[in-house]
Amino acid sequence: MTSMSREQRVSAVFVQVADSLIDDFDLIEFLQQLCGHCVTLLDVSAAGILLANERETLHTVAASDETTEMLELFALQHDQGPCLECYRLGTARIDIDLGDEAAVSAWPGFAAQARRSGLRTSHVFPLRLRDRAVGALNLFHHGAQNLTAQDASLAQALADVATIALLQQRDIGQEQLEKAQLQYALTSRITIEQAKGILAERWNSTPDDAFHALRAYARAHQLRISDCARRVIDRTLDTGDIPRPSSA
Amino acid sequence: MVSAGMTEMLRLLHGEPGRLPDGCAAVLGVDHLVVSLAVDGQVTEQLWSSGHVGSTFEDLQFTLGEGPGTDALRTGRMILVHDMAEVAADRWPALLPAVAHLPVRAVFCLPLVLGGITVGVLTAVRSAAGPMTGRETDDAVALVSGLTLQFLGADGVQADSWVGAPLDGGLHREVVHQATGMLSVQLGTSLAQALLRLRAYAYSHDRSIIDAAEDIVSRRLRLDEGDPGPDPDPPEETEG
């Protein structure tokens, strides 16, 4: 990809995205790949996608970096942070300096944790559905960063793609189905965390390593990672068949 | 967003566990509600119903072994049927003729799940066809979250945490679900029992469930040695 121009890389990503949306795609895997695309196309350090539940609290569904540290940072935005603000206002905000006094006083716990993780800048984009937001795309950078207008609109386009994928249908319109699909995405995420724990204990590995092994297995067998996680839990998938992580 | 009406229903439910408060069906815009418990994806018991139409529908689908409730339990997804009259005959070939005489056009089955833990299903039926509104769907999701936590024994001790404040204290943290998975292997129990043990440990040691979960995931704490907890389960062989 290095020899490609930026425009070529962007269009390659959108072609890949359109291809993945056909058929019975793996939502969690798709959103993780989308987070990965954000990191490479927008030159950020990490990306995550958060969804609101029926009580309007945010939960992580996918991240470019599935380490416990990053997941914790997204989880903290359950009740504070730029994602929650973006979700509530339904508007994007870029170039947020997390060391800035305004950020520290608005989100003390979140800003402190972000700095401990070596993150300096955050950008947030709403997952828009009609006149409201259903979640947010959160980008982080280790240094100071100013997104160009072009990058900001690309990030919003990627956030819109995430919304389309979440709703899994071309003709959006029935609120009941939209909510059912968002709810299922949140449930799938919990299933994956439970399966990570089961595998980590069996293999004496970290949950992060267990996740990578499970994902590699799902990819190699063209299965959905959330289905694999369910099958680990109900024991219909023999975990002996999954290659163990190398560190275990 | 959860309505004020449902918030009140959840408050009443917390005060009197095991039965749905009067008025719940009206808040959801349906005629009848049924709550059934399930183990391993199979309904074991109809716990509560608001009337014979709902309970008859529920009995028929679980006797015949097919229907939206069975599908909800199998897939972990909500099954939303706007009009039973429009359902293809081969989708539930035994159920459809059996329920044709009931005043049931719309059926909504919501599984009571926490990730891979399934504890039951809420069935809502309405004599008029059509979907739930967005607000009714939010309310229904809030109701099944409340019921799920209640059945998991995870419905906190303070009534305050039930109303207004997030219902799912700790459950938004990945580490709690990871620890639940690890514990289920260590203790040879189901995920539901593992979560209960984690909560019992946190409660009896006056620690937050998140702190306890972090210790388990980082292997500073095991619950199968030293500290048997309030309800020790015999270790079983686990596969893998």
Domain of residue A115, residue span: 6-168
Rounded Cα gap, residues A212 and A218, in angstroms: 10
Which residue is it, tokens 């980008």?
A139
CA distance B185 to chain A (A): 6
Asked if A115 and A48 sit in the same domain, the reply is yes
Structural domain count of chain A: 2
Domain of residue B49, residue span: 4-158
Asked if B18 and B68 sit in the same domain, the reply is yes
Asked if B105 and B208 sit in the same domain, the reply is no
CB contact under 8 A, B174 and A193: yes
pLDDT at position B45 over 90:
no
Asked if B26 and B100 sit in the same domain, the reply is yes
CA distance B111 to chain A (A): 11
In a domain, B212, yes or no: yes
CB atoms within 10 A of CB B220: 8
Asked if A116 and A55 sit in the same domain, the reply is yes
Test mutation, B144, B174, B177, chain A, max A CBs within 10 A: B174
- Beta strands (DSSP E) in A104-230 are 121-129, 132-141
- Structural tokens at position B23: 């008025």
A148-198: pLDDT as tens digits = 999 999 999 999 999 988 887 555 557 888 889 889 999 999 999 999 999
- Structural tokens at position B17: 């566990």
Asked if B111 and B152 sit in the same domain, the reply is yes
Residue pLDDT tens, chain A, 248 long: 456 788 888 888 888 888 777 767 888 889 999 999 999 999 999 999 999 998 888 999 999 988 878 888 888 888 899 999 999 999 999 999 999 999 999 999 999 999 999 999 999 999 998 888 999 999 999 999 999 999 999 999 999 999 988 887 555 557 888 889 889 999 999 999 999 999 999 999 999 999 999 999 999 998 999 999 999 998 899 888 888 887 55
Q: How confident is the model at residue B164 (pLDDT cuts 50, 70, 90)?
A: very low
Asked if B132 and B213 sit in the same domain, the reply is no
Contact list in A for residue B239 (CB cut-off 8 A) is 235, 238-240
Contact list in B for residue A187 (CB cut-off 8 A) is 76, 113-115
Asked if B135 and B195 sit in the same domain, the reply is no
pLDDT at position B155 over 90:
no
Asked if A236 and A132 sit in the same domain, the reply is no
- Structural tokens at position B134: 């967005």
Asked if B82 and B119 sit in the same domain, the reply is yes
The structure's pTM equals 0.83
CA distance B163 to chain A (A): 11
CATH number at residue B47: 3.30.450.40
In a domain, A181, yes or no: no
Test mutation, B119, B178, B214, B221, chain A, max A CBs within 10 A: B178
In single-letter form, the type of residue at position A10 comes to V
A35 class by beta-carbon count within 10 Å (0-12 exposed, 13-18 middle, 19+ buried): buried
A48-64: pLDDT as tens digits = 999 999 888 899 999 99
Rounded Cα gap, residues A156 and A150, in angstroms: 10
Asked if A116 and A153 sit in the same domain, the reply is yes
Rounded Cα gap, residues A67 and A75, in angstroms: 12
Asked if B133 and B213 sit in the same domain, the reply is no
Q: What is the structure's pLDDT at A68?
A: 76
Rounded Cα gap, residues B41 and B117, in angstroms: 10
Asked if A66 and A153 sit in the same domain, the reply is yes
B176-212: pLDDT as tens digits = 999 999 999 999 998 988 988 888 888 888 888 889 9
Which residue is it, tokens 């939502």?
A27
CB contact under 8 A, A176 and B137: yes
Asked if B130 and B190 sit in the same domain, the reply is no
A195 class by beta-carbon count within 10 Å (0-12 exposed, 13-18 middle, 19+ buried): buried
Asked if B111 and B189 sit in the same domain, the reply is no
Last residue in a domain, options A134, A168, A202: A168
A170 class by beta-carbon count within 10 Å (0-12 exposed, 13-18 middle, 19+ buried): exposed
CATH number at residue A235: 1.10.10
Structural domain count of chain B: 2
Asked if B129 and B211 sit in the same domain, the reply is no
Q: What is the DSSP letter of B38?
A: E
Closest CA to A231 of A184, A189, A195: A195
Comparing CB atoms, the residue among A71, A190, A235 nearest residue B115 is: A190
In a domain, A1, yes or no: no
Q: What is the structure's pLDDT at B217?
A: 95
CB contact under 8 A, A193 and B178: yes
Asked if B105 and B210 sit in the same domain, the reply is no
Asked if A88 and A198 sit in the same domain, the reply is no
In a domain, B205, yes or no: yes
